[in-house]
Copies of this chain bind each other. A is one copy, B any other.
Amino acid sequence: MADDQLSRIFAALADPTRRDVVARLAVGDATVGELAGPYDVSIQAVSKHIGVLTDAGLVSKSKDAQRRPCHLEAEVFDLMTKWIERYRQKAQERYERLDAVLAELQSDELPTNHRHPQQGAAS
């Protein structure tokens, strides 16, 4: 069920240490050892987090270089923001329709002589 890439990306970022790793890699490539430095965890634990980020496509590892630094694949963020923006926009349109309906209802509730206050005032 959670096999699709979008699920893997969201799941990968649902952990503060993995978000920290992404934040660190946004500034520059780094080896697992360099990434483990600031944390009170083993290289193995950081390696496992990198594995989750790699499976989600957020991080890649250079195969040929001896240091094998981790690299952030920032364009993967687009998948998330596209999904978020689609539904944010739908929700926004809905609020705007609701506002229009409310405004319509309120104008209907006004007494007849107040319903068209600008009537005849435009020149």
Enumerate chain A interface residues (CB-CB to B < 8 A).
Answer: 1-2, 4, 6-8, 10-11, 13-17, 19, 22-23, 26-28, 72, 74, 77, 80-81, 83-88, 90-92, 94
Contacts and interface: CB of A to CB of B under 8 A. Distances in A.
A4 B13 CA distance: 12
Given A23-B87, A77-B87, A81-B81, A15 B1 contact: yes
11 contacts: A1-B16, A6-B19, A7-B14, A7-B16, A10-B10, A10-B13, A14-B14, A19-B83, A26-B87, A26-B88, A74-B91
Number of copies: 2
A14 B94 CA distance: 25
Given A6-B16, A74-B87, 17 more contacts: A1-B17, A7-B19, A10-B10, A10-B11, A10-B14, A11-B14, A22-B87, A23-B87, A26-B87, A26-B88, A26-B90, A27-B90, A28-B94, A77-B84, A80-B80, A80-B84, A81-B85
